[in-house]
């Protein structure tokens, strides 16, 4: 079994290392030896330390490598949309099995890859694309195929979880924590993808597609990142017995006519410390799956990093290699349900809103009136001396309001109106609250 490796960075170099260290076991599991036919990179001359591989295998011609007659399996760990899409479509149409960790591409245009795989009769596996080492996609696309999944909730980005954990545990600054996550190999080539939620949104689209048998793309996912989460938000969450996590939530629902829909969102949220996702720290990921018959399932493990991701890649390599030897192919994409995607405004959620207000009679009544006009019910109100607002306003007060569940559109309209009130000096922070009563 001959393998073309596209990319030899954080993940690719660990794939090479594991292939070398476990070659005898892998051969026994597959039923044939597994060899690297070539490795496509951007810079052949780059120093790759003590990587156990023949330097002559490196090339800057990925297409030439893919087209070679002796290549059976293509492993793509380069990333990005193009040229990765063209390479993988070429490989799949030629009947070569593909293993990829490229969630950005799968979420943007997974359809092209699935169509090419069907056309070429080839396997397309992508376990490493979501939640690193955690076996999650195979359970969704195989083990749970007899059940009906209603909701998937999780932490699926290691970099942002690392940053939020550091801010919460040690009071580390955002920039400092991001730098450390990048050094540890967790962040994307452009870390904006992590901190602005693009990476988690891509993963959410992949999870929703598999869970609900519907093609969901990154553009269908409501996305907010963590760049606006402040140290004050983290402290405020702590004071309430909560922590802040970047959550991915994909859930079934219904539209006004009762037709079934799916809603998929990624945003920071406060969750109670008693929630099982609250203790998921550093670059770990965890995903809850709620299914009709199986009930609640939780998947937990390392969500980023070279070796954990390479483990998932190699698991897929063994699977596709065995399929090839058996002349078989895994089941193709299941998108028969074709459910409509629900707008974010219809999502049911709770808000934690921190306001800097004038400290005078009637303020509470005016603020409560805005909530009432938008039919948003207030769960708790706490008033204290101004903390988060600009300095020099000794007579101002801070109001912290937590709402009951309401449609996101009503909550957003409430915040918009609050911003326009003369008595509201500033809306210091707005965070969604998930889990718990
Ligand atoms: P890196 O940036 O570390 O490595 C990218 C590799 O691709 C490098 O070897 C680079 O070559 C090569 N490359 C880049 N452009 C080209 C090109 N045009 N032609 C040929 N080779 C090219 O990325 P990662 O290993 O971190 O990530 C790879 C993929 O895995 C991405 O899709 C990422 O989203 C995904 N992933 C990453 C995880 C992680 O924890 N890092 C976890 C899960 C998924 P050179 O070495 O010469 O620079
Ligand atoms: N940058 C990604 C993360 C890598 O931090 O989760 C794993 O997909």
Q: What is the mean pLDDT of each run of 10 residues along the chain (437 residues)?
A: 98 98 98 98 96 97 98 98 98 98 98 97 98 97 96 98 95 93 96 98 98 98 96 89 97 93 98 95 97 98 97 98 96 95 95 94 95 97 71 70 97 97 94 85
Cα-Cα-Cα-Cα torsion 151, 155, 331, 30, nearest 10 degrees, comes to: -150
Q: Is the CB of 101 under 6 A from ligand 1?
A: yes
Q: Which residue has the tokens 């009432």?
A: 372
Q: Which residue has the tokens 């690392």?
A: 162
Whole-number Å distance, alpha carbon 338 to ligand 1 midpoint, is: 32
In the chain, the largest separation of any two C-alpha atoms, in whole Å, equals 81
Contacts of 379 (CB under 8 A, 6+ apart): 350, 402, 403, 404
Predicted confidence at residue 395, as pLDDT, reads: 61
Predicted confidence at residue 375, as pLDDT, reads: 98
pTM score, two decimals? 0.96
Predicted confidence at residue 381, as pLDDT, reads: 95
Q: Find the catalytic residue in 67, 96, 103, 203.
A: 203
Predicted confidence at residue 437, as pLDDT, reads: 53
Q: Do residues 406 and 348 lie in contact, with contact meaning Cβ atoms separated by under 8 Å?
A: yes
Contacts of 437 (CB under 8 A, 6+ apart): none
The rounded distance, in Å, linking the Cα atoms of 246 and 241 is 17
Predicted confidence at residue 380, as pLDDT, reads: 94
Pocket test for ligand 1, best of 42, 74, 86, 132 (most atoms within 8 A of CB): 42
Q: Is the CB of 303 under 6 A from ligand 2?
A: yes
Known active-site residue 245: no
Ligand 1: atom nearest CA of 43 is 47
Three-state secondary structure call for residue 302: strand
Ligand 2: atom nearest CA of 159 is 5
Predicted confidence at residue 386, as pLDDT, reads: 73
Pocket test for ligand 2, best of 281, 303, 305, 308 (most atoms within 8 A of CB): 303
Whole-number Å distance, alpha carbon 228 to ligand 1 midpoint, is: 28
Cβ–Cβ contacts within 10 Å for residue 35, how many? 14
Predicted confidence at residue 393, as pLDDT, reads: 46
Predicted confidence at residue 308, as pLDDT, reads: 97
Q: Which residue has the tokens 């406060």?
A: 270
- Of 415, 400, 398, 402, nearest in space to 359 by CA: 398
The rounded distance, in Å, linking the Cα atoms of 24 and 398 is 65
The rounded distance, in Å, linking the Cα atoms of 359 and 398 is 9
The rounded distance, in Å, linking the Cα atoms of 116 and 133 is 26
Q: Is the CB of 309 under 6 A from ligand 1?
A: yes
Q: Is the CB of 58 under 6 A from ligand 1?
A: no
Three-state secondary structure call for residue 151: strand
Q: Is the CB of 202 under 6 A from ligand 1?
A: no
Predicted confidence at residue 256, as pLDDT, reads: 87
What structural domains does the chain harbor? 2-133+306-326 (3.40.50.720), 137-302 (3.30.360.10), 347-433 (3.30.70.260)
In tens, the pLDDT along 112-151 reads 999 999 999 999 999 999 999 999 999 999 999 999 999 9
Residue 157 dihedral angles phi and psi, to the nearest 5°: -125, 115
């Amino acid at each position: 079994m001959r393998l073309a490796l596209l990319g030899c960075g954080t993940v690719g170099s660990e794939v090479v290392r594991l292939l070398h260290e476990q070659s005898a076991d892998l051969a026994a599991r597959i039923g044939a030896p597994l060899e690297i036919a070539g490795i496509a990179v951007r810079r052949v001359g780059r120093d790759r330390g003590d990587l156990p591989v023949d330097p002559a295998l490196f090339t800057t011609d990925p297409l030439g490598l893919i087209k070679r007659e002796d290549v059976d399996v293509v492993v793509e760990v380069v990333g990005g949309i193009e040229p990765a899409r063209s390479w993988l479509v070429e490989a799949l149409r030629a009947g070569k099995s593909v293993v990829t960790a490229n969630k950005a591409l799968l979420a943007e245009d997974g359809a092209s890859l699935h169509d090419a795989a069907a056309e070429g009769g080839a396997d397309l596996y992508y376990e490493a694309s979501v939640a690193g080492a955690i076996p999650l996609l195979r359970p969704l696309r195989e083990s749970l195929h007899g059940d009906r999944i209603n909701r998937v909730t999780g932490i699926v980005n290691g970099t942002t979880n690392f940053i939020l954990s550091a801010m919460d545990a040690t009071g580390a600054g955002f920039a400092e924590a991001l730098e450390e996550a990048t050094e540890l190999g967790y962040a994307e080539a452009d870390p904006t993808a992590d901190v602005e939620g693009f990476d988690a949104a891509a993963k959410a689209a992949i999870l929703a597609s598999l869970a609900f048998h519907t093609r969901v793309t990154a553009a269908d996912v409501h996305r907010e990142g963590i760049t606006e989460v402040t140290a004050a938000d983290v402290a405020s969450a702590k004071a309430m017995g909560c922590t802040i996590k970047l959550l991915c939530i994909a859930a079934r629902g219904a539209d006004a006519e009762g037709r079934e829909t799916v809603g998929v969102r990624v945003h920071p949220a406060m969750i109670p410390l008693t929630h099982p996702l609250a203790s998921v720290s550093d670059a770990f990921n965890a995903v809850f799956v709620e299914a009709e018959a199986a009930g609640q399932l939780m998947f937990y493990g390392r969500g980023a990093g070279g070796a954990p991701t390479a483990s998932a890649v190699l698991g897929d390599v063994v699977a596709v290699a065995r399929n090839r030897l058996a002349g078989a192919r895994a089941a193709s994409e299941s998108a028969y349900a074709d459910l409509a995607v629900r707008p974010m405004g219809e999502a049911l959620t709770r808000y934690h809103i921190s306001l800097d207000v004038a400290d005078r009679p009637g303020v509470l009544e005016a603020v409560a009136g805005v909530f009432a006009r938008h039919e948003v019910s207030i769960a708790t109100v706490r008033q204290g001396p101004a903390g988060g607002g600009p300095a020099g306003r000794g007579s101002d007060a801070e109001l912290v309001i937590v709402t009951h569940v309401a449609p996101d559109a009503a909550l957003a309209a409430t915040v918009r109106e609050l911003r326009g009130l003369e008595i509201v000096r500033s809306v210091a922070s707005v965070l969604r609250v998930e889990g718990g009563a």
